[in-house]
Structure 1
Amino acid sequence: MKTWFHLFEVFVFLVLLACLWHARKARCGGLATLFWGSVYGICLEIATIYQLSAYQYGQFVLMVFEVPLCIGIAWGCIIYSAQQVSGKLRLGLLSKCAFDGLFGLGIDLGLDVVAVRVGFWDWGRGLEHQYFGVPYGNFWAWFWVIFFFSLVQRTTGRAWLAIFGGLVGVLCTNALIKFGVPEPWRGAVVLATLSCAVVLLARQRAQVFAQPFDRFGVSISVAFQAVSLTIGLVSGVLFQNMWMLLLSLAIHAVLMLLLHHDRLSTRGRHARTAAAGVEAD
Protein backbone atom coordinates (compact mmCIF):
# COMPACT_ATOMS: atom_id res chain seq x y z
CA MET A 1 0.00 0.00 0.00
CA LYS A 2 2.90 2.41 0.67
CA THR A 3 3.61 2.40 -3.06
CA TRP A 4 0.36 4.31 -3.57
CA PHE A 5 1.38 6.84 -0.90
CA HIS A 6 4.64 7.55 -2.71
CA LEU A 7 2.92 7.67 -6.11
CA PHE A 8 0.36 10.18 -4.87
CA GLU A 9 3.00 12.40 -3.26
CA VAL A 10 5.10 12.44 -6.44
CA PHE A 11 1.97 13.12 -8.50
CA VAL A 12 0.98 16.13 -6.36
CA PHE A 13 4.46 17.65 -6.62
CA LEU A 14 4.39 17.18 -10.40
CA VAL A 15 1.02 18.95 -10.49
CA LEU A 16 2.53 21.76 -8.42
CA LEU A 17 5.38 22.13 -10.92
CA ALA A 18 2.88 22.26 -13.78
CA CYS A 19 0.84 24.93 -11.97
CA LEU A 20 3.97 26.97 -11.20
CA TRP A 21 5.02 26.80 -14.85
CA HIS A 22 1.55 27.83 -15.97
CA ALA A 23 1.29 30.68 -13.45
CA ARG A 24 4.66 32.13 -14.45
CA LYS A 25 3.82 31.88 -18.14
CA ALA A 26 0.30 33.28 -17.78
CA ARG A 27 1.38 36.08 -15.41
CA CYS A 28 -2.06 35.96 -13.83
CA GLY A 29 -1.05 36.47 -10.22
CA GLY A 30 -1.47 32.75 -9.71
CA LEU A 31 1.81 32.28 -7.84
CA ALA A 32 0.25 33.94 -4.80
CA THR A 33 -2.81 31.70 -5.10
CA LEU A 34 -0.63 28.59 -5.24
CA PHE A 35 1.51 29.57 -2.27
CA TRP A 36 -1.18 30.91 0.04
CA GLY A 37 -3.66 28.28 -1.13
CA SER A 38 -1.20 25.57 -0.06
CA VAL A 39 -0.61 27.26 3.30
CA TYR A 40 -4.37 27.54 3.67
CA GLY A 41 -4.77 23.84 2.87
CA ILE A 42 -2.35 22.79 5.60
CA CYS A 43 -3.85 25.19 8.15
CA LEU A 44 -7.44 24.16 7.48
CA GLU A 45 -6.56 20.46 7.69
CA ILE A 46 -4.84 20.92 11.04
CA ALA A 47 -7.68 23.10 12.33
CA THR A 48 -10.36 20.68 11.13
CA ILE A 49 -8.66 17.64 12.66
CA TYR A 50 -8.45 19.38 16.04
CA GLN A 51 -11.95 20.85 15.75
CA LEU A 52 -13.85 17.72 14.73
CA SER A 53 -11.49 14.75 15.20
CA ALA A 54 -13.44 13.23 12.32
CA TYR A 55 -10.58 11.61 10.40
CA GLN A 56 -6.87 10.91 10.46
CA TYR A 57 -4.20 10.62 7.80
CA GLY A 58 -1.90 7.74 7.02
CA GLN A 59 1.85 8.22 7.27
CA PHE A 60 3.20 9.95 4.17
CA VAL A 61 6.88 10.79 3.69
CA LEU A 62 6.52 14.54 4.27
CA MET A 63 4.22 15.49 7.14
CA VAL A 64 3.36 18.80 8.82
CA PHE A 65 2.24 17.73 12.28
CA GLU A 66 -0.55 15.23 11.44
CA VAL A 67 -1.15 16.47 7.90
CA PRO A 68 0.71 15.29 4.75
CA LEU A 69 2.43 18.18 2.99
CA CYS A 70 1.10 16.91 -0.33
CA ILE A 71 -2.49 17.40 0.86
CA GLY A 72 -1.92 21.09 1.55
CA ILE A 73 -0.22 21.51 -1.82
CA ALA A 74 -3.08 19.66 -3.52
CA TRP A 75 -5.52 22.17 -2.06
CA GLY A 76 -3.47 25.02 -3.49
CA CYS A 77 -3.34 23.41 -6.94
CA ILE A 78 -7.05 22.61 -6.96
CA ILE A 79 -7.98 26.17 -5.93
CA TYR A 80 -5.65 27.57 -8.59
CA SER A 81 -7.04 25.35 -11.35
CA ALA A 82 -10.63 26.09 -10.35
CA GLN A 83 -9.99 29.83 -10.51
CA GLN A 84 -8.34 29.47 -13.91
CA VAL A 85 -11.57 27.95 -15.22
CA SER A 86 -14.07 30.23 -13.46
CA GLY A 87 -12.01 33.36 -14.16
CA LYS A 88 -12.86 33.08 -17.85
CA LEU A 89 -16.57 32.52 -17.33
CA ARG A 90 -19.10 35.33 -17.65
CA LEU A 91 -20.39 35.00 -14.12
CA GLY A 92 -20.86 37.20 -11.08
CA LEU A 93 -18.77 36.95 -7.92
CA LEU A 94 -20.91 34.48 -5.98
CA SER A 95 -21.50 32.33 -9.05
CA LYS A 96 -17.77 32.09 -9.73
CA CYS A 97 -17.12 31.08 -6.12
CA ALA A 98 -19.90 28.49 -6.31
CA PHE A 99 -18.37 27.14 -9.52
CA ASP A 100 -14.97 26.89 -7.82
CA GLY A 101 -16.49 24.92 -4.95
CA LEU A 102 -18.30 22.49 -7.23
CA PHE A 103 -15.25 22.13 -9.46
CA GLY A 104 -13.13 21.03 -6.50
CA LEU A 105 -15.89 18.81 -5.19
CA GLY A 106 -15.94 16.96 -8.52
CA ILE A 107 -12.34 15.90 -7.88
CA ASP A 108 -13.15 14.57 -4.43
CA LEU A 109 -16.12 12.48 -5.56
CA GLY A 110 -13.75 10.14 -7.36
CA LEU A 111 -10.67 10.54 -5.17
CA ASP A 112 -12.09 9.95 -1.70
CA VAL A 113 -13.58 6.50 -2.31
CA VAL A 114 -10.17 5.24 -3.46
CA ALA A 115 -8.16 7.13 -0.83
CA VAL A 116 -10.02 5.61 2.13
CA ARG A 117 -9.49 2.12 0.72
CA VAL A 118 -5.74 2.39 0.22
CA GLY A 119 -5.21 4.12 3.58
CA PHE A 120 -4.48 7.73 2.61
CA TRP A 121 -6.95 8.77 5.29
CA ASP A 122 -9.52 7.11 7.50
CA TRP A 123 -12.93 8.40 8.58
CA GLY A 124 -13.30 5.65 11.14
CA ARG A 125 -16.84 4.80 10.04
CA GLY A 126 -16.22 1.72 7.91
CA LEU A 127 -16.23 1.45 4.13
CA GLU A 128 -20.01 1.18 3.80
CA HIS A 129 -20.83 4.38 5.66
CA GLN A 130 -22.90 6.91 3.67
CA TYR A 131 -20.97 7.66 0.42
CA PHE A 132 -18.88 4.46 0.13
CA GLY A 133 -17.24 5.10 3.50
CA VAL A 134 -17.13 8.90 3.24
CA PRO A 135 -19.44 11.03 5.43
CA TYR A 136 -21.72 13.39 3.54
CA GLY A 137 -20.36 16.24 5.64
CA ASN A 138 -17.05 15.88 3.82
CA PHE A 139 -18.63 17.19 0.61
CA TRP A 140 -20.14 20.09 2.53
CA ALA A 141 -16.63 20.95 3.77
CA TRP A 142 -15.02 20.63 0.33
CA PHE A 143 -17.47 23.07 -1.17
CA TRP A 144 -17.10 25.70 1.55
CA VAL A 145 -13.31 25.37 1.79
CA ILE A 146 -12.89 26.50 -1.81
CA PHE A 147 -15.90 28.84 -1.85
CA PHE A 148 -14.71 30.96 1.08
CA PHE A 149 -11.09 31.15 -0.10
CA SER A 150 -12.20 32.27 -3.56
CA LEU A 151 -14.74 34.71 -2.14
CA VAL A 152 -12.26 36.49 0.12
CA GLN A 153 -9.47 36.48 -2.47
CA ARG A 154 -11.69 37.80 -5.24
CA THR A 155 -13.21 40.43 -2.95
CA THR A 156 -9.97 41.75 -1.45
CA GLY A 157 -7.50 40.88 -4.19
CA ARG A 158 -5.22 39.42 -1.49
CA ALA A 159 -4.64 35.67 -1.37
CA TRP A 160 -3.04 35.83 2.07
CA LEU A 161 -6.17 37.43 3.51
CA ALA A 162 -8.17 34.51 2.10
CA ILE A 163 -6.42 32.22 4.58
CA PHE A 164 -8.02 33.97 7.54
CA GLY A 165 -11.40 34.56 5.90
CA GLY A 166 -11.49 31.04 4.56
CA LEU A 167 -10.58 29.45 7.89
CA VAL A 168 -13.26 31.41 9.74
CA GLY A 169 -15.87 30.46 7.15
CA VAL A 170 -14.88 26.79 7.08
CA LEU A 171 -14.70 26.39 10.86
CA CYS A 172 -18.12 28.03 11.22
CA THR A 173 -19.75 25.85 8.55
CA ASN A 174 -18.03 22.78 10.03
CA ALA A 175 -19.48 23.61 13.42
CA LEU A 176 -22.90 24.19 11.87
CA ILE A 177 -23.09 20.81 10.13
CA LYS A 178 -21.49 18.92 13.02
CA PHE A 179 -23.16 20.49 16.04
CA GLY A 180 -26.13 22.40 14.63
CA VAL A 181 -27.67 19.77 12.35
CA PRO A 182 -28.85 16.39 13.72
CA GLU A 183 -27.00 13.53 12.03
CA PRO A 184 -30.11 12.07 10.32
CA TRP A 185 -30.63 15.43 8.60
CA ARG A 186 -27.04 16.14 7.54
CA GLY A 187 -27.27 14.36 4.21
CA ALA A 188 -30.37 16.34 3.29
CA VAL A 189 -28.75 19.65 4.29
CA VAL A 190 -25.62 18.88 2.28
CA LEU A 191 -27.68 17.83 -0.74
CA ALA A 192 -29.86 20.95 -0.51
CA THR A 193 -26.83 23.26 -0.26
CA LEU A 194 -25.01 21.73 -3.19
CA SER A 195 -28.22 21.56 -5.21
CA CYS A 196 -28.69 25.31 -4.74
CA ALA A 197 -25.19 25.89 -6.11
CA VAL A 198 -25.90 23.62 -9.09
CA VAL A 199 -29.23 25.34 -9.79
CA LEU A 200 -27.56 28.77 -9.55
CA LEU A 201 -25.10 27.80 -12.25
CA ALA A 202 -27.66 25.88 -14.31
CA ARG A 203 -29.75 29.05 -14.57
CA GLN A 204 -26.69 30.74 -16.06
CA ARG A 205 -25.62 27.89 -18.32
CA ALA A 206 -25.55 30.18 -21.35
CA GLN A 207 -22.82 32.22 -19.65
CA VAL A 208 -21.04 29.12 -18.36
CA PHE A 209 -20.84 27.53 -21.81
CA ALA A 210 -20.42 30.79 -23.72
CA GLN A 211 -16.82 29.88 -24.50
CA PRO A 212 -14.48 26.90 -24.11
CA PHE A 213 -13.34 26.03 -20.60
CA ASP A 214 -9.77 26.82 -19.67
CA ARG A 215 -7.92 23.70 -20.79
CA PHE A 216 -5.17 23.87 -18.20
CA GLY A 217 -7.60 24.19 -15.29
CA VAL A 218 -9.73 21.29 -16.47
CA SER A 219 -6.59 19.23 -17.19
CA ILE A 220 -5.62 19.43 -13.51
CA SER A 221 -9.01 18.03 -12.55
CA VAL A 222 -8.66 15.30 -15.18
CA ALA A 223 -5.20 14.44 -13.84
CA PHE A 224 -6.44 14.05 -10.25
CA GLN A 225 -9.30 11.87 -11.39
CA ALA A 226 -7.03 9.85 -13.66
CA VAL A 227 -4.53 9.08 -10.89
CA SER A 228 -7.27 8.11 -8.42
CA LEU A 229 -8.90 5.94 -11.10
CA THR A 230 -5.55 4.31 -11.91
CA ILE A 231 -4.80 3.58 -8.25
CA GLY A 232 -8.31 2.23 -7.81
CA LEU A 233 -8.09 -0.07 -10.83
CA VAL A 234 -4.55 -1.35 -10.32
CA SER A 235 -5.03 -1.92 -6.58
CA GLY A 236 -8.39 -3.53 -7.29
CA VAL A 237 -10.30 -1.50 -4.69
CA LEU A 238 -12.75 -0.12 -7.26
CA PHE A 239 -13.81 -3.65 -8.12
CA GLN A 240 -15.05 -4.14 -4.57
CA ASN A 241 -18.22 -2.26 -5.53
CA MET A 242 -19.30 -1.88 -9.15
CA TRP A 243 -21.20 1.31 -8.34
CA MET A 244 -17.92 2.92 -7.27
CA LEU A 245 -16.28 1.81 -10.50
CA LEU A 246 -19.12 3.10 -12.66
CA LEU A 247 -19.20 6.40 -10.76
CA SER A 248 -15.44 6.92 -11.12
CA LEU A 249 -15.59 6.17 -14.84
CA ALA A 250 -18.56 8.53 -15.25
CA ILE A 251 -16.77 11.38 -13.46
CA HIS A 252 -13.70 10.88 -15.62
CA ALA A 253 -15.85 10.84 -18.76
CA VAL A 254 -17.57 14.11 -17.79
CA LEU A 255 -14.23 15.79 -17.15
CA MET A 256 -12.95 14.61 -20.51
CA LEU A 257 -16.03 16.12 -22.16
CA LEU A 258 -15.35 19.44 -20.43
CA LEU A 259 -11.73 19.27 -21.53
CA HIS A 260 -12.78 18.87 -25.15
CA HIS A 261 -15.84 21.13 -24.93
CA ASP A 262 -14.35 23.56 -27.44
CA ARG A 263 -13.94 20.86 -30.08
CA LEU A 264 -17.41 19.47 -29.47
CA SER A 265 -18.93 22.95 -29.66
CA THR A 266 -17.12 23.65 -32.93
CA ARG A 267 -18.33 20.40 -34.44
CA GLY A 268 -21.86 21.14 -33.27
CA ARG A 269 -21.81 24.60 -34.84
CA HIS A 270 -20.46 23.18 -38.09
CA ALA A 271 -23.15 20.51 -38.12
CA ARG A 272 -25.91 23.08 -37.51
CA THR A 273 -24.51 25.36 -40.21
CA ALA A 274 -24.37 22.47 -42.70
CA ALA A 275 -27.92 21.41 -41.84
CA ALA A 276 -29.17 24.99 -42.27
CA GLY A 277 -27.45 25.13 -45.66
CA VAL A 278 -29.14 21.92 -46.80
CA GLU A 279 -32.56 23.20 -45.71
CA ALA A 280 -31.96 26.47 -47.56
CA ASP A 281 -31.18 24.56 -50.74
Structure 2
Amino acid sequence: MPEKTQTIATGSGNTTLTQGGWRRYLLPLSVAVLVIFHSVGFYGLAFSDNPEYFQQLTPMNLLLTAVLLFSFHKRWNGSFMLFALMAATVGFTAEVLGIHTGLLFGDYSYGAALGLKLWEVPLLIGLNWLILIYSTGHISDFTKFAWPVKAVLGSLLMVLLDLFLEPVAVEYDFWRWHSNNIPLSNFIGWFGVALLLQVLYQWLPIAKGNPMAPFVFLVQLLFFVGLYLCL
Protein backbone atom coordinates (compact mmCIF):
# COMPACT_ATOMS: atom_id res chain seq x y z
CA MET A 1 0.00 0.00 0.00
CA PRO A 2 1.51 3.37 -0.95
CA GLU A 3 2.27 5.77 1.88
CA LYS A 4 -0.29 8.45 2.54
CA THR A 5 0.75 12.03 2.05
CA GLN A 6 -0.44 15.19 3.69
CA THR A 7 -0.14 18.63 2.10
CA ILE A 8 0.43 21.59 4.41
CA ALA A 9 -0.04 25.09 3.11
CA THR A 10 2.71 27.55 3.98
CA GLY A 11 3.44 31.13 3.06
CA SER A 12 5.93 30.06 0.42
CA GLY A 13 3.82 27.31 -1.11
CA ASN A 14 2.74 23.77 -0.35
CA THR A 15 4.88 21.34 1.66
CA THR A 16 4.21 17.64 1.23
CA LEU A 17 4.90 15.37 4.19
CA THR A 18 4.87 11.61 4.14
CA GLN A 19 2.80 10.39 7.05
CA GLY A 20 4.75 7.80 8.98
CA GLY A 21 7.97 8.55 7.09
CA TRP A 22 9.58 9.91 10.25
CA ARG A 23 9.16 6.52 11.91
CA ARG A 24 12.03 5.10 9.87
CA TYR A 25 14.38 7.26 11.92
CA LEU A 26 13.17 6.09 15.35
CA LEU A 27 15.26 2.92 15.50
CA PRO A 28 18.58 4.49 14.35
CA LEU A 29 17.99 7.42 16.69
CA SER A 30 17.21 5.14 19.64
CA VAL A 31 20.28 2.99 18.96
CA ALA A 32 22.40 6.14 18.74
CA VAL A 33 21.11 7.38 22.11
CA LEU A 34 21.78 3.95 23.64
CA VAL A 35 25.33 3.87 22.28
CA ILE A 36 26.08 7.45 23.36
CA PHE A 37 24.93 6.93 26.93
CA HIS A 38 26.84 3.67 27.29
CA SER A 39 29.92 5.23 25.68
CA VAL A 40 29.84 8.11 28.15
CA GLY A 41 29.44 5.63 31.01
CA PHE A 42 32.28 3.51 29.68
CA TYR A 43 34.63 6.47 29.41
CA GLY A 44 33.62 7.77 32.83
CA LEU A 45 34.15 4.47 34.61
CA ALA A 46 37.30 3.39 32.80
CA PHE A 47 39.20 6.63 32.15
CA SER A 48 37.83 9.58 34.13
CA ASP A 49 39.27 10.89 37.40
CA ASN A 50 35.89 10.54 39.10
CA PRO A 51 34.40 7.10 38.32
CA GLU A 52 32.22 7.32 41.45
CA TYR A 53 30.16 10.03 39.75
CA PHE A 54 29.45 7.78 36.79
CA GLN A 55 28.60 4.88 39.10
CA GLN A 56 25.79 7.03 40.47
CA LEU A 57 24.39 7.40 36.94
CA THR A 58 23.89 3.63 36.56
CA PRO A 59 20.21 3.65 37.63
CA MET A 60 19.43 6.42 35.12
CA ASN A 61 21.21 4.50 32.37
CA LEU A 62 19.21 1.38 33.18
CA LEU A 63 15.91 3.28 33.15
CA LEU A 64 16.79 4.92 29.84
CA THR A 65 17.61 1.50 28.35
CA ALA A 66 14.23 0.18 29.49
CA VAL A 67 12.36 3.13 27.96
CA LEU A 68 14.16 2.76 24.64
CA LEU A 69 13.66 -1.00 24.56
CA PHE A 70 9.99 -1.18 25.48
CA SER A 71 8.97 1.79 23.36
CA PHE A 72 9.35 -0.63 20.44
CA HIS A 73 7.21 -3.38 21.96
CA LYS A 74 4.24 -4.02 19.70
CA ARG A 75 1.37 -5.23 21.92
CA TRP A 76 0.91 -4.26 25.56
CA ASN A 77 -1.67 -6.96 26.25
CA GLY A 78 -2.38 -9.07 29.29
CA SER A 79 0.14 -11.75 28.30
CA PHE A 80 2.96 -9.24 28.04
CA MET A 81 2.05 -7.57 31.32
CA LEU A 82 2.03 -10.99 33.01
CA PHE A 83 5.43 -11.81 31.55
CA ALA A 84 6.89 -8.45 32.59
CA LEU A 85 5.52 -8.76 36.12
CA MET A 86 6.71 -12.35 36.50
CA ALA A 87 10.19 -11.68 35.08
CA ALA A 88 10.76 -8.68 37.34
CA THR A 89 9.27 -10.36 40.43
CA VAL A 90 11.03 -13.71 40.02
CA GLY A 91 14.34 -12.00 39.29
CA PHE A 92 14.04 -9.70 42.30
CA THR A 93 12.89 -12.53 44.59
CA ALA A 94 15.79 -14.73 43.50
CA GLU A 95 18.18 -11.92 44.43
CA VAL A 96 16.53 -11.43 47.84
CA LEU A 97 16.80 -15.17 48.48
CA GLY A 98 20.41 -15.13 47.34
CA ILE A 99 21.38 -12.19 49.53
CA HIS A 100 19.85 -13.58 52.72
CA THR A 101 20.54 -17.30 52.36
CA GLY A 102 23.46 -17.74 49.96
CA LEU A 103 21.31 -20.07 47.90
CA LEU A 104 21.14 -19.92 44.08
CA PHE A 105 24.16 -17.68 43.52
CA GLY A 106 26.43 -17.75 46.56
CA ASP A 107 27.28 -15.33 49.39
CA TYR A 108 27.25 -11.74 48.17
CA SER A 109 25.88 -8.31 49.01
CA TYR A 110 24.98 -5.22 46.99
CA GLY A 111 26.84 -1.94 47.08
CA ALA A 112 25.40 1.54 46.62
CA ALA A 113 25.84 1.94 42.86
CA LEU A 114 22.45 0.53 41.84
CA GLY A 115 20.36 2.88 43.95
CA LEU A 116 17.47 2.45 46.37
CA LYS A 117 17.16 -0.97 48.01
CA LEU A 118 14.37 -3.11 49.43
CA TRP A 119 15.40 -6.02 51.66
CA GLU A 120 19.01 -5.15 50.79
CA VAL A 121 18.41 -5.64 47.04
CA PRO A 122 18.25 -2.66 44.62
CA LEU A 123 14.72 -2.17 43.31
CA LEU A 124 16.06 -1.84 39.78
CA ILE A 125 17.36 -5.42 39.80
CA GLY A 126 13.91 -6.70 38.88
CA LEU A 127 13.85 -4.35 35.90
CA ASN A 128 17.33 -5.50 34.89
CA TRP A 129 16.17 -9.14 34.87
CA LEU A 130 13.21 -8.16 32.70
CA ILE A 131 15.41 -6.30 30.20
CA LEU A 132 17.87 -9.18 29.91
CA ILE A 133 15.27 -11.95 29.62
CA TYR A 134 13.32 -9.97 27.04
CA SER A 135 16.32 -9.01 24.87
CA THR A 136 18.03 -12.43 24.94
CA GLY A 137 14.68 -14.10 24.37
CA HIS A 138 14.22 -12.02 21.23
CA ILE A 139 17.66 -12.96 19.93
CA SER A 140 17.05 -16.68 20.48
CA ASP A 141 13.65 -16.32 18.85
CA PHE A 142 15.32 -15.32 15.58
CA THR A 143 16.49 -18.93 15.22
CA LYS A 144 14.32 -21.74 13.87
CA PHE A 145 14.90 -24.09 16.80
CA ALA A 146 12.08 -25.56 18.87
CA TRP A 147 11.06 -23.39 21.80
CA PRO A 148 12.90 -25.45 24.49
CA VAL A 149 16.16 -24.98 22.57
CA LYS A 150 15.43 -21.27 22.23
CA ALA A 151 14.94 -21.07 26.00
CA VAL A 152 18.32 -22.72 26.60
CA LEU A 153 19.99 -20.47 24.03
CA GLY A 154 18.56 -17.34 25.65
CA SER A 155 19.82 -18.53 29.05
CA LEU A 156 23.30 -19.20 27.66
CA LEU A 157 23.40 -15.68 26.23
CA MET A 158 22.67 -14.35 29.72
CA VAL A 159 25.48 -16.45 31.18
CA LEU A 160 27.81 -15.10 28.47
CA LEU A 161 26.97 -11.56 29.56
CA ASP A 162 27.42 -12.46 33.23
CA LEU A 163 30.92 -13.82 32.62
CA PHE A 164 32.07 -10.26 31.84
CA LEU A 165 29.59 -8.49 34.11
CA GLU A 166 30.69 -10.14 37.36
CA PRO A 167 34.30 -8.84 37.56
CA VAL A 168 33.14 -5.39 36.46
CA ALA A 169 30.34 -5.36 39.05
CA VAL A 170 32.80 -6.12 41.85
CA GLU A 171 35.22 -3.43 40.67
CA TYR A 172 32.56 -0.70 40.53
CA ASP A 173 30.62 -1.48 43.71
CA PHE A 174 27.53 -3.01 42.09
CA TRP A 175 27.94 -5.98 44.43
CA ARG A 176 30.72 -7.93 46.15
CA TRP A 177 31.37 -11.60 46.87
CA HIS A 178 32.11 -12.40 50.50
CA SER A 179 34.75 -14.94 49.51
CA ASN A 180 36.41 -12.41 47.17
CA ASN A 181 35.97 -14.97 44.40
CA ILE A 182 33.12 -15.41 41.93
CA PRO A 183 31.75 -18.89 42.70
CA LEU A 184 30.67 -21.38 40.06
CA SER A 185 27.30 -21.51 41.83
CA ASN A 186 26.65 -17.97 40.63
CA PHE A 187 26.70 -18.99 36.97
CA ILE A 188 24.70 -22.16 37.64
CA GLY A 189 22.07 -20.21 39.57
CA TRP A 190 22.06 -17.44 36.95
CA PHE A 191 21.43 -20.03 34.24
CA GLY A 192 18.70 -21.76 36.27
CA VAL A 193 16.69 -18.60 37.00
CA ALA A 194 17.20 -17.40 33.43
CA LEU A 195 15.98 -20.72 32.03
CA LEU A 196 12.80 -20.57 34.10
CA LEU A 197 12.03 -17.08 32.78
CA GLN A 198 13.06 -17.92 29.23
CA VAL A 199 10.54 -20.78 29.24
CA LEU A 200 7.92 -18.29 30.41
CA TYR A 201 8.92 -15.93 27.61
CA GLN A 202 8.61 -18.68 24.99
CA TRP A 203 5.41 -20.13 26.41
CA LEU A 204 3.34 -16.97 26.76
CA PRO A 205 1.75 -15.55 23.58
CA ILE A 206 3.50 -12.19 23.73
CA ALA A 207 4.54 -10.14 20.71
CA LYS A 208 8.03 -10.96 19.47
CA GLY A 209 10.15 -9.11 16.93
CA ASN A 210 11.17 -5.99 18.86
CA PRO A 211 13.89 -4.48 16.59
CA MET A 212 15.56 -2.72 19.53
CA ALA A 213 16.13 -5.89 21.59
CA PRO A 214 19.27 -7.21 19.83
CA PHE A 215 20.91 -3.78 20.02
CA VAL A 216 20.23 -3.54 23.77
CA PHE A 217 21.92 -6.86 24.42
CA LEU A 218 24.83 -6.18 22.06
CA VAL A 219 25.55 -2.71 23.47
CA GLN A 220 25.45 -4.02 27.04
CA LEU A 221 27.70 -6.95 26.13
CA LEU A 222 30.25 -4.66 24.47
CA PHE A 223 30.02 -2.26 27.42
CA PHE A 224 30.94 -4.93 29.95
CA VAL A 225 33.52 -6.62 27.71
CA GLY A 226 35.22 -3.24 27.29
CA LEU A 227 35.24 -2.54 31.02
CA TYR A 228 36.47 -6.07 31.70
CA LEU A 229 39.43 -5.54 29.37
CA CYS A 230 40.24 -2.28 31.17
CA LEU A 231 40.40 -3.85 34.64
TM (normalized to structure 1)?
A: 0.55
Distance (whole Å) between structure 1 residues aligned to residue 68 and residue 80 of structure 2: 12
Q: Does 1:81 align with 2:135?
A: yes
In the aligned structure 1, how far is the partner of 2:52 from the partner of 2:164?
A: 20
Equivalent of 2:111 in 58, 63, 85: 58
Tell me, in whole angstroms, the C-alpha distance in 1 between the residues paired with 2:216 and 2:82: 18
1:78 offset after TM fit, Å?
A: 0.4
Match of 1:12 in 2: 62
Matched, 1:216 2:212: yes
1:147 aligns with 2:143: no
TM-superposed deviation, 1:80: 0.7
Query: Is residue 2:154 matched to residue 1:100?
Result: yes
User: Shift of the alpha carbon at 1:152?
Assistant: 4.1
Cα 1:45–1:12, aligned 2, differ >3 Å: closer, same or farther?
Answer: same
- Displacement of 1:214 in angstroms is 7.2
Gaps of 5+ in 2: 1-50
Superposed CA RMSD in Å reads 2.7
Structure 2 distance, partners of 1:72, 1:87, is: 22
Q: CA deviation at 1:122?
A: 0.4
The higher relative CO (CA closer than 8 Å, separation ≥ 6) is in 2
User: Match for residue 72 of structure 1?
Assistant: 126
The one-letter code sitting in structure 1 at the alignment partner of 2:57 is: L
Residue 22 of structure 1: SS of its match in structure 2?
coil
Are the structure 2 counterparts of residues 65 and 19 from structure 1 closer, same or farther at C-alpha, using a change threshold of 3 Å?
A: same
Q: Is 1:41–1:75's contact at 8 Å kept on the other side of the alignment? A: yes
TM-aligned CA deviation for residue 58 of structure 1? 0.4
Per-residue deviation, residues 137-185 of structure 1 (Å, max 9, x unmatched):
2111111111112224544x389xxxxxxxxxxxxxxxxxxxxxxxxxx
Identity of aligned residues (%): 22
Q: Cα gap change, 1:88/1:31 in structure 2, threshold over 3 Å: closer, same or farther?
A: farther
Which of 172, 196, 220 is residue 118 of structure 1 equivalent to? 172
CA distance in 2, matches of 1:153, 1:89: 15
Q: Deviations over 1:28-66 (max 9, x none)?
A: 854443333122211111012222161000024321221
Return the structure number with greater strand share: 2
Equivalent residue in structure 1 for 2:224, among 210, 225, 228: 228
Whole-angstrom CA distance in 2 between matches of 1:143 and 1:107 = 11
Q: Indicate how the Cα distance of structure 1 residues 138 and 11 shifts in structure 2: closer, same or farther if over 3 A, else same.
A: same
Q: Is the 8 A contact 1:85 1:214 kept in 2?
A: no
Larger CA Rg, structure 1 vs 2: 2
| Residue 74 of structure 1, CA deviation | 0.7
